Amino acid sequence: MTALSAAQKAIRSVGKDAKNDFAKYDYVSAETMISECRRALHKAGLVFSRTAWEMKTTDFGVTVVSKYVLNHPESGEQICMSSEMVVPPAQKQLDKATLAALTTSLNYMLRDMLLIPRADEPEVDNMPEPVSAPKPTAKKKPAPKVDSSGSNALQAALALVIGGKANPTDYEAALFRHASAQYDREFRSVEQLPDEYVKRVVEAHDVKIEAATADDRALFGDKD
């Protein structure tokens, strides 16, 4: 479709207009992404819309399945497509969580369709370096011990926090960089993050660790 090619050429990137106050990084809000994509599509004579959506229960939780259609009225051509997005569990009321999943689904569908790169990839690179207080001695701080008894609940709670973000991958990368700066070591997975750090992240988002344990079993099954 020639018109789609024109729309892709018309939008090269979308500037970041929002800021994550906890992890201190900038990102593109869903509202701005949708608005800019809409402008590029209309300029190319294209009409994009969600035609239907439904909720589905899976082994991993509740998801929203959306169906979309891209129309070019002048030629009569159209392209049908669909996407599936996880509804963030436990953090919000179901209606608000569903609306958030629908918005996120539309955001990523538009970005993928128009091949929009993330500006200044990765976004976490724009995070300011944390200011550390002077160390009283040269003695290196030992790595924190992991309490395996509470790790599963903490990891489940952290999964809820990350899953509820508009840009989960970017937020996760921001956590790794932020934690690496604090602990003087590199982190490449959420399992490597110290429990004390994960707990601070979870508490900052008002997610109850006890409630997360039940959600963990629902999402991943009981672990012997």
Q: Give the pLDDT confidence of 181-210 residue by residue, as tens digits.
A: 888 888 888 888 888 888 888 888 777 665
- Is 124 a member of any domain? no
- The pTM score is 0.51
Residue 126 lies in a domain: no
Q: Which two tokens stand for residue 75?
A: 């030629």
Closest C-alpha among 39, 60, 61, 57 to residue 48: 39
What CATH number does residue 102 fall under?
Answer: 3.30.160
Residue 60 lies in a domain: yes
User: In the predicted model, what is the mean pLDDT of residues 87-104?
Assistant: 81
In this structure, the answer to whether residues 17 and 109 fall within a common structural domain is: yes
Structural domain count, the chain: 2
Identify which has the larger pLDDT, 165 or 148: 165
- What order of strands is seen across the sheet that includes strand 47-58? 47-58, 61-72, 77-86
Residues 90 and 42 in one domain: yes
User: What is the pLDDT of the chain when averaged over all its residues?
Assistant: 77
- Sign of the torsion formed by the C-alpha atoms of 205, 207, 209 and 214: negative
Dihedral sign of CA atoms 57, 59, 61, 67 in order: negative
Query: Residue 85's domain spans which residues?
Result: 2-113
Amino acid type, 23: A
Q: Which two tokens stand for residue 211?
A: 């409630």
Dihedral sign for Cα 190, 195, 199, 201, please: negative
CB of 73 closer than 8 Å to CB of 45: yes
